[in-house]
Amino acid sequence: MKPTIHELFDGFYFSINPDDGYKIICFDEDNEGIDGRILDRVCRDPNSDRCARDELLRWHFRQAVLANMREAGEPSFETDFPPGSDIMGDILSRPTAAKRMEAELSSRLCGCFSPGSVQSL
């Protein structure tokens, strides 16, 4: 894969469904013109050193579907804290601390970012 294509693959922007004839499915804009194309035969040939294993493609496809679902599987958080409570301590003591901090930052930055999409400033 070209480096730019590989970055998109790693970011789950597209995936390959081995159970649908090795069709490439894009979950975002298709600037590379790959959506709907079929994975090259050399990448499907188990005798080739360039072969992509079906189990790995299947795993990646499932992860891409989950990563691109909107508002699915995200934990919901209560936003009311009693006056004088230790908000940071409460957030950090929970098993979902990273997601909760992301949600708090997102809401406090005027909704500029959605959970899962905080970018480096």
Domain of 55, in residue numbers: 3-68
Q: Which residues contact 48 (CB under 8 A, 6 or more apart)?
A: 42
Residues recorded for the chain? 121
Judge if 79 and 61 occupy the same domain: no
Looking at residue 114, its pLDDT comes to 45
Asked whether the predicted pLDDT for residue 120 surpasses 90, the reply is no
Asked whether the predicted pLDDT for residue 108 surpasses 80, the reply is no
Judge if 21 and 62 occupy the same domain: yes
Judge if 33 and 59 occupy the same domain: yes
Asked whether the predicted pLDDT for residue 54 surpasses 70, the reply is yes
Q: Are 98 and 104 in contact (CB under 8 A)?
A: no
Judge if 47 and 89 occupy the same domain: no
Judge if 10 and 51 occupy the same domain: yes
Question: In this predicted model, what pLDDT tens digit does every residue of 17-41 receive, in sequence order?
Answer: 999 999 999 998 898 899 999 998 8
Exposed/middle/buried for 54, CB within 10 Å: 0-12, 13-18, 19+? middle
Q: What is the mean pLDDT of residues 90-102?
A: 78
Looking at residue 17, its pLDDT comes to 94
Of the pLDDT bands very low, low, confident and very high (cuts 50, 70, 90), residue 105 is: low
Q: How far apart are CA 35 and CA 99, in angstroms?
A: 31
Q: How far apart are CA 42 and CA 48, in angstroms?
A: 6
Among 30, 50, 68, the domain boundary falls at: 68
Exposed/middle/buried for 15, CB within 10 Å: 0-12, 13-18, 19+? buried
H helices present in 1-121, as ranges:
3-10, 54-68, 87-92, 97-108
Domain count, the chain: 2
